[in-house]
Amino acid sequence: MNGSNSADPGSSGVRRRSDATRTAILAAARERFAADGYERATIRAIARDARIDPSMVMRYYGNKEGLFAAAVSVELELPEPGSLPRHDIGRALVTRFLDLWEENEVLTALLRVGATNQAGAERMQGVFREQVMPVALLACPDPEQAPARAALAATQLLGLALTRYVLRFPPTVALTREEIVAWLAPTVQRYLTAPSP
Amino acid sequence: MNGSNSADPGSSGVRRRSDATRTAILAAARERFAADGYERATIRAIARDARIDPSMVMRYYGNKEGLFAAAVSVELELPEPGSLPRHDIGRALVTRFLDLWEENEVLTALLRVGATNQAGAERMQGVFREQVMPVALLACPDPEQAPARAALAATQLLGLALTRYVLRFPPTVALTREEIVAWLAPTVQRYLTAPSP
DNA sequence: AGCCTATGCCAACACTCGTTGGCCAACAAG
DNA sequence: CTTGTTGGCCAACGAGTGTTGGCATAGGCT
């Protein structure tokens, strides 16, 4: 029925005249999903932001789910535990996470959607399983404990993101980057490498 | 226009014939808000769960916002830092939070709604300010640092709730209550009472 | 040039939502 | 009993949603 194409302008070699429109749609979608969550981010509003007709969104991304899938793709690019001193992994992870949350709004969108949308939650689980777990597997002493230790680190890092970038608790927003690193790095370090209590 | 009444059956002395209906509505609302968030928890679905007509919800609670306000009221009843040894406050807080999240779904509803709804986020800020901050004020050495320290403790506790009760990361769900307390209590304790790093 | 596909907009469909007003039965007060 | 009030349902409104199909047009091809 729709014989055209998939998504992701710029990754494949094909150049299309509509690439500008496609990226505009994705950018607007990311913004809206990050600001409003899944339900309140309407296709009409996204199209309005991108200055095109709502039907274009459907043509290029199939439906709302497809748009979300195309708009939110996460590459954490976490530091490799092998490439730095064992006792610095906590600090490295915290700083990397702060960078990630502040360099664009993809993670905010993912968290806002994940909180109320089943598909969004599953996508977050996927990111955790395939991008956070491997780091724990390399960093922690006993590989069998890796899932639990990765889970603990995730509670701390996602809790920071939740209160700072989503709920926007004033005292959490007021923390400086240095304060956050100084307080949280030892926690994450302990969750990953300290002996079980 | 509506000369009848406000909310909350059982608190005031007035007995109304409709009290059973009112509590049924609130129970159904809590369930739906906890499971679906604000937008997808429709008044029609809540009314169906409570086996009454949607218009009754409007009559008793005015509108959807009013229903949410009536359905979600939080009393954390956190332990008083003065009433136990200084080094046990972390453990006491973590166990209390676990109890709270498991005894009913109000907190899940509040978090799910807060993640996508401005009013919900503000309500969470209110709970934090009026019920968590005071504990930090009594527990931490320098009162001036209380907001920051309460904020840090909140990142850890809400991060646990988010990954365990909302996103349901399997490794976080798999943690036993004892493991959680053993790992998190020292963290919260440190955030509240340890000297600044 | 002429053709054909890709790009875009418009108008509409079918549906769901929150919300309203009117109507009827059950109860309470006189 | 009569009267007024309360509790409940039904039907509908207006707005907004995701989604669809058709129609114009602009580019790139031969």
pLDDT of A4? 40
- For residues B71 and B33, the answer to whether their CB atoms sit within 8 Å is yes
Is residue B156 helix, strand or coil? Answer: helix
| pLDDT tens digits along B91-112 | 999 999 999 999 999 999 999 9
Residues A150 and B164: their CA atoms lie apart, in Å, by 13
Is the CB of B101 inside 8 Å of chain A's CB atoms?
no
Q: Which of residues 33-62 of B touch strand D (CB under 7 A)?
A: 51-56, 59
Band (A17; pLDDT cuts 50, 70, 90): confident
Q: Using CA atoms in the order B174, B177, B179, B180, what is the torsion angle rounded to 10 degrees?
A: 90
CA of B4 to C1' of D7 (A): 12
Residues B160 and A155: their CA atoms lie apart, in Å, by 5
| pLDDT tens digits along A56-109 | 999 999 999 999 999 999 999 999 988 999 889 999 999 999 999 999 999 999
Mean pLDDT of chain A: 93
pLDDT of A12? 54
Contact B147 A111 (CB under 8 A): no
- For residues B115 and A115, the answer to whether their CB atoms sit within 8 Å is yes
Residue B124 has pLDDT above 70, yes or no: yes
CB-nearest partner of B156 from A40, A155, A164: A155
Percent of chain A at pLDDT > 90 equals: 86
- Shortest Cα–Cα distance, A189 to chain B (Å): 11
- Enumerate the residues of chain A whose CB falls inside 8 A of the CB of residue B118: none
- Enumerate the residues of chain B whose CB falls inside 8 A of the CB of residue A176: none
pLDDT of B12? 56
pLDDT of B7? 38
* CA nearest to B33 within chain A: A116
Query: Hey, where are the domains in chain B?
Result: 19-71, 81-193
Count of CB atoms situated within 10 Å of the CB of B88: 13
Band (B4; pLDDT cuts 50, 70, 90): very low
The pair of structure tokens assigned to B79 is: 């332990």
Residue B129 has pLDDT above 60, yes or no: yes
Output phi, psi for B133, to 5 deg: -50, -45
| One-letter amino acid for residue A23 of the chain | T
Is the CB of B134 inside 8 Å of chain A's CB atoms?
no
A64 touches strand D (CB under 7 A): yes
| pLDDT tens digits along A96-147 | 999 999 999 999 999 999 999 999 999 999 999 999 999 999 999 899 999 9
- Enumerate the residues of chain B whose CB falls inside 8 A of the CB of residue A172: 151, 154-155
At the top level of CATH, which class does the domain A19-71 belong to? mainly alpha
- Enumerate the residues of chain A whose CB falls inside 8 A of the CB of residue B39: 37, 39-40, 116
| pLDDT tens digits along B61-94 | 999 999 999 999 999 999 998 899 989 999 999 9
DSSP string, B121-133: HHHHHHHIIIIIH
* CA nearest to A173 within chain B: B151
The pair of structure tokens assigned to B26 is: 């609130």
